[in-house]
Amino acid sequence: MGEGTITVWCLLGRKAGDNTQVRALAEELGWGYEVKHIVARPWELLAHLGGGVTLAGIDRAQSSDLKAPWPDLVISAGRRNEPVARWIQRQSGGRTRLVHIGRPWAPLSAWDLVITTPQYFLPYEANIVHNNLPLHRLTVEDLIRAEQLRPQFEHLPRPWVAVLMGGDSGRFVMTPEKGQRLGKLAQALARKSGGSVLATDSPRTPRAAGDAMQAQLQQPCYCYRWGSAEDNPYKGLLALADAFVVTGESMSMLGEAVDTGKPLYVFDVGDFDSKDRAASWWRLPHNYRYKPLTHRLAMRFGPTRMRREIGNIQEALVESGTAQWLTRAMISEAAQRLQAQMTVKRAAGGRDSPARADMERATQAVRRLVISQ
Question: Where does residue 78 rank: exposed (0-12), middle (13-18), buried (19+ CB within 10 A)?
Answer: buried
**Are 75 and 146 found together in one domain?**
no
**Are 103 and 70 found together in one domain?**
yes
Specify the pLDDT at position 2: 61
Confidence of residue 148 (pLDDT cuts 50, 70, 90): confident
- Report the alpha-carbon distance of residue 33 to residue 320 in Å, rounded: 36
Specify the pLDDT at position 351: 42
- Report the alpha-carbon distance of residue 372 to residue 99 in Å, rounded: 15
**Are 334 and 365 found together in one domain?**
no
- Report the alpha-carbon distance of residue 26 to residue 169 in Å, rounded: 26
Average pLDDT, the chain: 91
Number of domains the chain contains: 2
**Are 91 and 171 found together in one domain?**
no
- DSSP-assigned letter for residue 157: P
Q: What whole-number percentage of the chain has pLDDT above 70?
A: 94
Specify the pLDDT at position 373: 66
Strand ranges of the sheet holding 222-224, from the earlier edge strand across to the other edge: 222-224, 196-200, 160-164, 243-247, 264-267, 324-325
Specify the pLDDT at position 341: 85
Q: What whole-number percentage of the chain has pLDDT above 90?
A: 69
Residues with Cβ < 8 Å from 38, sequence gap 6 or more? 11, 12, 13, 58, 63, 64, 80, 81, 84
Strand partners of residue 12: 37
Helix, strand, coil share of the chain (percent; to 5):
45, 15, 40
**Are 196 and 316 found together in one domain?**
yes
Q: Read off the pLDDT of each residue in 324-328 and give the average, rounded to a whole number.
A: 95
Residues with Cβ < 8 Å from 197, sequence gap 6 or more? 160, 161, 162, 163, 186, 187, 190, 217, 221, 222, 223
Specify the pLDDT at position 345: 55
**Are 319 and 362 found together in one domain?**
no
CATH code: domain of residue 282? 3.40.50.2000
- Report the alpha-carbon distance of residue 125 to residue 148 in Å, rounded: 45
E-strand ranges in the chain read 8-12, 34-37, 73-77, 97-101, 113-116, 128-130, 160-164, 196-200, 222-224, 243-247, 264-267, 324-325
**Are 250 and 326 found together in one domain?**
yes
Considering only residues 121 and 159, tell me which one the structure prediction assigns the higher pLDDT: 159
**Are 90 and 191 found together in one domain?**
no
User: What is residue 73's three-state secondary structure?
Assistant: strand
Specify the pLDDT at position 89: 98
Q: What is the pLDDT of residues 214-234, one digit of tens each?
A: 999 998 999 999 988 888 899
Specify the pLDDT at position 300: 87
**Are 84 and 96 found together in one domain?**
yes
Assess whether pLDDT exceeds 80 at residue 91.
Answer: yes
Confidence of residue 74 (pLDDT cuts 50, 70, 90): very high
Residue type at 279 in one-letter notation: A
Q: What is the pLDDT of residues 152-210, one digit of tens each?
A: 999 999 999 999 999 999 899 999 999 999 999 999 999 999 999 999 999 999 999 99
Confidence of residue 326 (pLDDT cuts 50, 70, 90): very high
Q: What is the pLDDT of residues 101-119, one digit of tens each?
A: 999 989 999 999 999 999 9
**Are 198 and 306 found together in one domain?**
yes
Assess whether pLDDT exceeds 50 at residue 350.
Answer: no
Specify the pLDDT at position 346: 53
Output the CA–CA distances (angstroms, integers) from residue 48 to 44, 82, 93, 238, in the order listed.
6, 8, 21, 37
Assess whether pLDDT exceeds 70 at residue 23.
Answer: yes
CATH code: domain of residue 25? 3.40.50
Output the CA–CA distances (angstroms, integers) from residue 114 to 97, 131, 370, in the order listed.
11, 11, 14
- DSSP-assigned letter for residue 171: T
Total residue length of the chain: 373
Output the CA–CA distances (angstroms, integers) from residue 93 to 4, 10, 69, 72, in the order listed.
22, 19, 12, 11
Assess whether pLDDT exceeds 70 at residue 3.
Answer: no
Specify the pLDDT at position 66: 97
**Are 202 and 57 found together in one domain?**
no
Assess whether pLDDT exceeds 50 at residue 259.
Answer: yes
Can you give the C-alpha Rg of the chain in angstroms?
21
**Are 29 and 46 found together in one domain?**
yes
Assess whether pLDDT exceeds 50 at residue 258.
Answer: yes
- Report the alpha-carbon distance of residue 263 to residue 109 in Å, rounded: 40
Specify the pLDDT at position 21: 95
The domain in which residue 258 lies consists of 140-348
Assess whether pLDDT exceeds 80 at residue 5.
Answer: yes
Q: Can you give the pTM of this predicted structure?
A: 0.86
